């Protein structure tokens, strides 16, 4: 059979459960999917990419961000959380968030993520139709939800309106191969139990993910305890919305009991270490959660609190953070860290049958990393060197659904000069206040 595209001479890390590798491997791609993979396969193809011994990996997965917040990158940083939110972020969002703001901001985010090897991301923001338009133009994959809150947002005056708009959004994109709609109640301190229950009902009815910020700060834990006499995870369980559809961002302060509860209910986590450090939220007990059997993936959070969308950098931070914090150098090893950004990321999104590993039949979301760099060589172990030495800028080629979207470190689907203009335009607007 003839393939559409063949990658040859790759040092392939499939990232499957057995960490299968092909040291001089080939991948044949047809109709956007992996047709065959291995060392001794031979296919004719319309196009052949010679990986030249470089490392070939599944596309990276960012399981929590607010993409359009690229337009607020660095804005008001280094202030106390309350000041940062109340004096910087929220006033700008109230004034400026619109279809145009979200589209322009997400274009910038998509450029940055493609350049960094991210092929799928999860977004929670407003005007998700603008995010979907940006994602489709960039030729990426994304799991998208509108943030639902009990007070008026840029997209909805009430939580019920947010839920209704989410239903429409789900219906519009339910069959898409690129956009995976989901429902996004913002957090237990911004959503009443009724809002959370209605949101879970939609998740069940339409078979989608339930994405929420959960147990991010000590302040949140205390607030939920005061209001509901339960810690955040327990609270969700008490009101009947803790199950395997939940993708919880942050999870910095779970109790021991909550860790076991989440493992039992198959809750998925998006660990956002750099945001947690920058906002001084604390350090999530990731090794304990993994040991308990919880699926832990990795997210950048928005660029206003990170301040980049660099998943390789994020797993490098995670791998070192938990060793240092726990004074134990064997915790979160390189294979585990890289799994968080690939296989475990796919599981967190319930897309493990489609993406996250390089296996026959899965979508051809593939990246090639240029390892012939002085800061990577000599390469004793590709997992270790990818996590501790490689930079996101070493990503040379990105293929999504069998189509080349980054080649020779150049993003092909987004015009760099155009998005730089947009970034400058929004900076002027935000500074002038109109
Ligand atoms: Zn967030």
Residue 434 has pLDDT above 80, yes or no: no
Is residue 64 a known part of a binding site?
A: yes
Residues 6+ apart with CB under 8 A from 398: 59, 114, 117, 119, 366, 367, 368, 404, 405, 406
Query: How far is the centre of ligand 1, averaged over its atoms, from the C-alpha of 12 (Å)?
Result: 33
- What is the per-residue pLDDT across 22-40, written as a single tens digit (0 to 9) for each? 999 999 999 999 999 999 9
Is residue 213 a known part of a binding site?
A: yes
Phi, psi of 28 (to 5 degrees): -105, 135
- What is the per-residue pLDDT across 117-175, written as a single tens digit (0 to 9) for each? 999 999 999 999 999 999 999 999 999 999 999 999 988 999 999 999 999 999 999 99
Let me know how long the chain is: 434
Query: How far is the centre of ligand 1, averaged over its atoms, from the C-alpha of 212 (Å)?
Result: 8
Question: For residues 3 and 35, is the Cβ–Cβ distance under 8 A?
Answer: yes
Share of the chain above pLDDT 70, in %: 100
Cα–Cα distance, 363 to 252 (Å, whole number): 32
Is residue 301 a known part of a binding site?
A: yes
Res 82: pLDDT: 84
- What is the per-residue pLDDT across 343-379, written as a single tens digit (0 to 9) for each? 999 999 999 999 999 999 999 999 999 999 999 999 9
- What is the per-residue pLDDT across 107-120, written as a single tens digit (0 to 9) for each? 999 999 999 999 99
Token representation of residue 46 = 């319309």
- What mean pLDDT is predicted for residues 191-218? 98
Query: How far is the centre of ligand 1, averaged over its atoms, from the C-alpha of 139 (Å)?
Result: 23
Query: How far is the centre of ligand 1, averaged over its atoms, from the C-alpha of 167 (Å)?
Result: 22
Q: Which domains does the chain have, with CATH numbers?
A: 3-58+365-411 (2.30.40.10), 60-348 (3.20.20.140)
**Which residues are near ligand 1, the ion (C-beta closer than 5 Å)?**
301
Residue 292 has pLDDT above 90, yes or no: yes
Q: Which residues of 68-78 are buried (b: 16+ CB within 10 A; e: fewer)?
A: bbbbbbebbee
Query: How far is the centre of ligand 1, averaged over its atoms, from the C-alpha of 210 (Å)?
Result: 14
Cα–Cα distance, 72 to 50 (Å, whole number): 39
Query: How far is the centre of ligand 1, averaged over its atoms, from the C-alpha of 128 (Å)?
Result: 15
Res 1: pLDDT: 83
Query: How far is the centre of ligand 1, averaged over its atoms, from the C-alpha of 372 (Å)?
Result: 35
Q: How confident is the model at residue 80 (pLDDT cuts 50, 70, 90)?
A: confident
């Amino acid at each position: 059979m003839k393939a559409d595209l063949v990658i040859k001479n790759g040092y392939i890390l499939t990232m499957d459960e057995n960490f299968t590798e092909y040291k001089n491997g080939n991948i044949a791609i047809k109709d956007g999917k992996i047709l065959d993979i291995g060392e001794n396969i031979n296919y004719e193809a319309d196009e052949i990419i010679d990986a030249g011994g470089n490392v070939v990996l599944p596309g990276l997965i960012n399981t929590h961000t607010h993409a359009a917040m690229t337009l607020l990158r660095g804005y008001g940083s280094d202030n106390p959380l309350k000041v940062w939110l109340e004096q910087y972020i929220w006033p700008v969002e109230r004034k400026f968030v619109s279809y145009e703001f979200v589209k322009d901001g997400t274009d910038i985010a998509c450029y940055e993520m493609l350049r960094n090897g991210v092929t799928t991301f999860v977004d929670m923001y407003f005007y998700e139709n603008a995010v979907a338009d940006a994602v489709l133009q960039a030729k990426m994959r994304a799991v998208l939800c509108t943030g639902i809150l009990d007070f008026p947002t840029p997209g909805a005056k009430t939580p019920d309106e947010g839920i209704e708009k989410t239903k429409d959004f789900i219906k519009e994109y339910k069959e898409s191969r690129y956009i995976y709609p989901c429902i996004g109640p913002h957090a237990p301190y911004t959503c009443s139990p009724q809002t959370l229950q209605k949101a879970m009902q939609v998740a069940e009815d339409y078979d989608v993910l339930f994405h929420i910020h959960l147990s991010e700060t000590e302040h949140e834990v205390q607030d939920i305890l005061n209001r509901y006499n339960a810690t955040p995870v327990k609270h969700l369980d008490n009101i009947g919305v803790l199950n395997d559809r939940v993708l919880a961002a942050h999870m910095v302060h779970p109790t021991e009991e909550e860790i076991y509860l989440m493992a039992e209910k198959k809750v998925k986590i998006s660990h956002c270490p750099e945001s947690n450090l920058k906002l001084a939220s604390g350090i999530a007990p990731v090794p304990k959660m993994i040991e308990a059997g919880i699926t832990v993936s990795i997210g950048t959070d928005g660029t206003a609190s990170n301040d980049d969308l660099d998943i390789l950098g994020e797993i490098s931070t995670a791998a070192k953070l938990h060793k240092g914090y726990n004074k134990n150098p064997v915790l979160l090893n390189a294979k585990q860290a890289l799994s968080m950004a690939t296989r475990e990321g796919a599981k967190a999104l319930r897309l493990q049958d489609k993406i996250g590993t390089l296996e026959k039949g899965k979508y051809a979301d593939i990246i090639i990393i240029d390892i012939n760099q002085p800061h990577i060589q000599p390469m004793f172990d590709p997992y270790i060197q990818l996590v501790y030495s490689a930079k996101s800028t070493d990503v040379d080629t990105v293929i999504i659904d069998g189509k080349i979207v980054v080649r020779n470190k150049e993003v092909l689907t987004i015009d760099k000069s155009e998005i730089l203009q947009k970034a400058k335009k929004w900076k002027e607007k935000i500074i002038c206040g109109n």
